[in-house]
Amino acid sequence: MCFSSSILLCLAILFSAAMRQAFAATAFSGTDWFNEPFHLSTSSDYLNLYAIRLELYLYQSVGLRQYQVKTFDSLPLINLREIESQLRLQKSPRRFLHLGPTKGNSPGFVVGFPLATELGDEYRPTFALLAARPSAEDEDAGRSGGFPVLTLHGFAKVVDLEKNDVERLLEQVPYRADHVIEAGDVLSMRQVYRKILQLAEV
């Protein structure tokens, strides 16, 4: 009896995971889909540094006050394919918080964006932290295909004691009057991509 119950429990978990991914894939389709090419990779470097920056700009730019930020190298059911789907989800809404320059010698900048709410409340609000760079050089150029490179460094869950709608607050961060993109600004996916291409021209 216990063995049968265990099998049923495992099947239920697998079915739930499959349904959640199918629902998310449906939610990610639409006319605002981002189609430009980029290469997505992962790195465990600098997660804590970029999470500290997220904590800083959530205070300075977004206006959160009573909150904590907890980091995770990985999350269940969130793989690179899922991250790519969420990056392409919508090209127009402003949802990427600019977190300053990348660590290291190559040009680039860091962004954090909240995972889509369709994935479930356990991921809300959790930010994916990514470094955005022009196409890789030398031996990495073949792997990136010469396209912009987005590197996932990990995740940061925001525990907001005031229960703010962080996604809505991101959208309300005002534009800069001079249109110069700097740390603390909130960008759309289209703006992130355009900024990467500008770095490639420098």
- Residue whose structure tokens are 């265990």: 6
Measured distance CA(196)–CA(4) in Å, rounded:
53
178 to 42, 109, 174, 175, 182: CA distances (angstroms) = 34, 19, 12, 9, 11
Ranges of residues in the chain with a pLDDT under 70 are 1-30, 136-145, 202
The per-residue pLDDT for 85 is 95
Q: Kindly report, residue by residue over 63-79, the tens digit of the pLDDT.
A: 999 999 999 999 988 99
Tokens of 10: 């495992």
Q: Please name which of 102, 115, 125, 127 lies closest in space to residue 195, comparing C-alpha atoms.
A: 102
